[in-house]
Structure 1
Amino acid sequence: MQLLCPHCESELIRSGESKRRCEACHTDFILSIECHECGEALQRLKACGAVNFWCDHCNELKSKSSASYILVDA
């Protein structure tokens, strides 16, 4: 999944598990993944190369496509 910088719209590079960096404007971001239904933070589940998410509030498994990806300035 390609994420773009909200300031300059350049592609962000991965700089950690939940960190992203814009080399164009030298800005660091923290990637927060939230449930699109309730807005709570999702837990990342990795197994055999697949990534899914668990929502404690909804008490159900969520796919990558049903997650909301939020960039917060670090």
Structure 2
Amino acid sequence: MQLICPHCQTPLEGFGDHAHCITCGKDFFLQARCPDCQQPLQVLKACGAIDYFCQHGHGLISKKRVEFVII
């Protein structure tokens, strides 16, 4: 999923929980959301790995399925 800058409509470069627009120079905070219930996911970090957990009954969510939204 490609994130687009809400100001200039240019694709954003993602860096973990942040994104940056090269064109307009703005930075954005990204929030991981569950693809099933759209609720924020808990980010679990251990030994260099990042996992996502839905606290609303969907359990571990594959990072391929995580939806990131600009907040």
Asked if Structure 1 and Structure 2 have the same fold, meaning a TM-score greater than 0.5 normalized by the shorter chain, the answer is yes
Correspondence for 2:32: 33
Give the AA of the match of 1:71: I
> Structure 1: how far apart are the matches of 2:51 and 2:14?
21
Q: Which runs of 4+ in 1 moved over 4 A?
A: none
- Count of aligned pairs between the two proteins: 69
Deviations 1:17-45 (A, max 9, x none): 52222132122211011000000000111
Q: Does 1:68 align with 2:71?
A: no
> Structure 1: how far apart are the matches of 2:27 and 2:43?
21
**Could you state the TM-score of these two structures normalised by the residue count of structure 1?**
0.71
Asked whether the equivalents of residues 8 and 25 of structure 1 are also in contact (C-alpha less than 8 Å), the reply is no
Looking at secondary structure, tell me which structure has more strand per residue.
1
Correspondence for 1:12: 13
**Could you state the TM-score of these two structures normalised by the residue count of structure 2?**
0.74
Unaligned runs of 5+ in 2: none
Unaligned runs of 5+ in 1: none
